[in-house]
């Protein structure tokens, strides 16, 4: 009966991530990228048969049974790992996995192991290419039948060891490529998302989002502007849309009460003060300014805190002008400014039954509520 071994390759520097710490040792949720990858493999392989390839002179205190010092290339590191396996026999099964893929699925690994047990030379998790492909010279590549290779990959010890022995001076970045070069047949096993490799800062952010709880915050905003009784007008600007009206609103900017309320709500949710602090009416820079600029700034502050806007709900309060015919356009404009889908924005309008300053048609008020999610 064959024995199951695993080699986890964690000897790289991860320079494309731009971190001083090699990426495999960076935190991910309540663990590290390497330890999460180790957990995925140890769910099927006994810890005493797992060998982790580490950088030279790197002191790692994670959950590791056996460590091997890596080489100058990935191929050399794997070869050193294969030579370090204690008691491995020709028919034993070897899983080789990149530490930078911490989301390998248990059922996928099971399917991979079943495939290699069915007498394949080698098997690899793989995902069909779904993006359109084009070379730099403009040539289009047909993606039909193309797969992106992933790890873990599975081999019989004799198959993978003989291939590495024969091509030990090569520079293969994938172990199935070495086996194929040596005449072996490779079986691809479809993988489940999101078994991606953490390579870039964007990949790391995605991994953090998948493993870390999102903190949700709400924010509320309120604004009011009085009508200007001097002179005539053709419109008022509400939620970024010009609504026909014979009186304009008083304000240092364009007096858009809807966008002002939403801006204040977003600033409140991020703990960033209020609109007057960021755009003081005493500053002539903002005189007659499109209030979309204010809202864009608030959206940027949310993004800088690694946040996403879940939804926006705004209510316009006035007797006149009538808003109903313009609500859809307002919804679309707010969504456009904030980079949201239209259904993430809701615009309502109401009156105060002719009570108070809005009931006397002295001005327009708006109140807004937002929900944002902040990722660590």
Mean pLDDT for the chain overall = 93
What pTM did the predictor assign? 0.64
Q: What is the pLDDT of residue 376?
A: 67
Residue 227 carries which DSSP code?
B
Preceding omega of 133 cis (within 30 degrees of 0): no
% of the chain surpassing 70 pLDDT: 100
pLDDT-derived band of residue 352, with 50, 70 and 90 as boundaries?
very high
Numbered ranges of CATH 3.30.1330.50 in the chain: 215-374
- Domain 4-211 fold: Spore Coat Polysaccharide Biosynthesis Protein SpsA; Chain A (3.90.550)
Distance of CA 347 to the CA centre of its chain: 29
Numbered ranges of CATH 3.90.550.10 in the chain: 4-211
List residues bridging with 96 in a β-sheet.
Answer: 7, 153
- Domain 215-374 fold: 60s Ribosomal Protein L30; Chain: A; (3.30.1330)
**Tens digit of pLDDT for each residue in 240-256?**
999 999 999 998 889 99
Q: Give dist(CA 253, CA 287) in Å, integer.
A: 5
E strands of 213-281, at which residues?
Answer: 215-226, 235-238, 241-244
Q: Is the pLDDT of residue 232 over 70?
A: yes
**Tens digit of pLDDT for each residue in 114-170?**
999 987 889 999 999 999 999 999 899 999 999 999 999 999 999 999 999 999 988
């Amino acid at each position: 009966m064959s024995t199951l071994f695993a080699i986890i390759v964690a000897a790289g520097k991860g320079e494309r991530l731009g971190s001083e710490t090699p990426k495999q040792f960076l935190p991910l949720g309540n663990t590290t990228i390497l330890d999460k990858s180790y957990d995925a493999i140890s769910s099927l392989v006994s810890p005493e048969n797992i060998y982790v390839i580490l950088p030279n002179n790197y002191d790692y205190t994670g959950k590791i049974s056996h460590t091997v010092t890596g080489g100058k290339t990935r191929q050399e590191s794997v070869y050193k790992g294969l030579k370090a396996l204690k008691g491995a026999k020709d028919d034993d099964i070897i899983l080789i996995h990149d530490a930078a893929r911490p989301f390998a699925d248990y059922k996928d690994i099971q399917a991979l192991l079943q495939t290699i047990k069915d007498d394949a030379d080698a098997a690899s998790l793989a995902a069909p290419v779904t993006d359109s492909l084009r070379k730099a010279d403009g040539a289009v590549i047909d993606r039909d039948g193309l797969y992106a290779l992933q790890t873990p990959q599975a081999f019989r010890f004799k198959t993978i060891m003989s291939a590495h022995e024969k091509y030990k001076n090569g520079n293969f970045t994938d172990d199935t490529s070495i086996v194929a070069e040596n005449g072996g047949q490779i079986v691809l096993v479809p993988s489940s998302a999101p078994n991606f490799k953490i390579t870039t800062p964007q990949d790391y952010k995605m991994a953090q989002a998948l493993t870390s709880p999102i903190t949700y915050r709400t924010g509320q905003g309120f604004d009011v502007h009085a009508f200007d009784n001097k002179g005539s007008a053709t419109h008022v600007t509400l939620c970024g849309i010009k609504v026909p009206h014979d009186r304009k609103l008083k304000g240092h900017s364009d007096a858009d009460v809807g966008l002002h309320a939403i801006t204040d709500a977003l600033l409140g949710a991020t703990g960033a003060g209020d609109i007057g602090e960021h755009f003081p009416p005493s500053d002539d820079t903002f005189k007659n300014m499109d209030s979309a600029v204010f809202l864009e700034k608030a959206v940027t502050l949310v993004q800088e805190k690694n946040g996403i806007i879940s939804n926006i709900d705004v209510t316009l309060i006035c007797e006149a002008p009538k808003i109903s015919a313009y609500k859809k356009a307002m919804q679309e404009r707010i969504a456009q400014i904030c980079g949201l889908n239209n259904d993430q924005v809701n615009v309502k309008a109401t009156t105060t039954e002719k009570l108070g300053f809005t009931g006397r048609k002295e001005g327009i008020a708006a109140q807004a509520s937002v929900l944002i999610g902040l990722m660590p």
